[in-house]
Amino acid sequence: MFRFANPEFLFLLIVVPILVYWYIKRHRHSSATIRYSNLNIIKNIKSTRSKVARHSLFVFRILALMALIIAFARPQSGQTEQKVTTEGIDILLAMDVSTSMLAEDFKPKNRLEAAKVVAADFIKGRQNDRIGLVVFAGQSFTQCPLTLDYGVLLRFMEEIESGMIEDGTAIGMAIATCVNRLRDSTAESKVVILLTDGQNNRGELDPATAAKVAEAFNIRIYTIGAGKKGDALYPVDDPIFGRRYVPMKVEIDEELLQRVAQVTGGRYFRATDRNSLERIYDEIGELEKTKIEVTEYTRYKELFVNLLYAAFGLVLLEILLANTLFRKIP
């Protein structure tokens, strides 16, 4: 980047063509005189290069003047830099892996597989946020701690399957595991996205109490109830007749999930199919945006010193030539 700190001085350059015009006009109409008895010898003298080169004194003077004017305008070269400050968010995805998540009302996959795909897309859309994964059924544990390595997190996501934990739905314990992971976080925002399709029926900790603990640590919880309204088909493996599907009533404790979200400053969502689940994650993503501040600044280097040296050198050169090679007869 290049600029003049005081560009108003550049208007003084207008005197340069005026001086050139004055110099040319003056030398066209001026003639030298000499008193001598016979001028025939002088008339036969041809114009030499030194006579033409004498005009270089004026050129040096004009160049020195231009250099001084430009130096007064303070030319500067600058380098623009940006300082990017990000305030990442710590997010824990708490996912229900109980056997009821195998219900196939989230076509073309069951609830668990659909939740994994949508959560994976959510992870891929984040930047500068630490994200972790907690799974729960009858108990809960951390599948992946908070990390910026989304590749590792996605591999852990793929390994989730129903039956990896004893069956049940321990929502309170899931919240407690998330709080334990987030309580020492220094992030500006700490978030839990809890997805379940059932009612709390296991664990030593009540979800409402766990929500109050989360609120004490400034942890915001978004709760998602996954399942269509009414009945959903659930796969049953019969040793005689093989796999068959039986209707199961979808029982989500929406009142509890709403209370948990409200206590912590979050929101409750109901997902009845994969498309609605995708919209919910998109909405949460919009609510929890990473704050990015870009500060731009430019460092300038002064260039006028070199122009002053050039002007000084041209003036010295003019004086030297005027008193030696182009010295005038008194």
Give per-residue pLDDT as tens, 179-202.
Answer: 999 999 988 899 999 999 999 999
Which pLDDT score, from 0 to 100, does residue 51 have? Answer: 57
Which pLDDT score, from 0 to 100, does residue 46 have? Answer: 55
Which pLDDT score, from 0 to 100, does residue 311 have? Answer: 87
User: Per the structure block, which two tokens stand in for 209?
Assistant: 């109490």
Rounded-to-integer distance, Cα 301 and Cα 321, Å:
34
* Residue 108 CA to its chain's centroid (Å): 37
49 pLDDT above the threshold of 70: no
Give per-residue pLDDT as tens, 21-30.
Answer: 888 888 776 5
**Is it true that the peptide bond before 235 is cis, omega within 30 degrees of 0?**
no
Q: 89-289 domain in CATH 3.40.50.410?
A: yes
Which pLDDT score, from 0 to 100, does residue 243 have? Answer: 77
Beta bridge partners of 243: 237
Cβ atoms of 119 and 224 within 8 Å: the answer is no
Domain ranges across the chain: 2-30+48-80+298-322, 89-289
Confidence of residue 31 (pLDDT cuts 50, 70, 90): low
Confidence of residue 86 (pLDDT cuts 50, 70, 90): low
Which pLDDT score, from 0 to 100, does residue 267 have? Answer: 96
290 pLDDT above the threshold of 80: no
Which pLDDT score, from 0 to 100, does residue 35 have? Answer: 60
How confident is the model over 154-159, as a mean pLDDT? 95
Most confident of 2-11, 104-113, 215-224: 215-224
52 pLDDT above the threshold of 90: no
Most confident of 74-83, 90-99, 301-310: 90-99
Which stretches does DSSP call E strand in the chain? 2-4, 75-87, 89-96, 130-136, 140-147, 189-196, 219-226, 231-238, 242-249, 268-271, 291-302
Q: Which of residues 88 and 45 earns the better pLDDT score? A: 88
Show Cβ contacts of residue 95 under 8 Å, excluding neighbours closer than 6 positions. Answer: 112, 115, 116, 119, 133, 134, 135, 136, 160, 195
87 pLDDT above the threshold of 70: no
User: Per the structure block, which two tokens stand in for 316?
Assistant: 């010295």
Confidence of residue 90 (pLDDT cuts 50, 70, 90): very high
How confident is the model over 103-108, as a mean pLDDT? 88
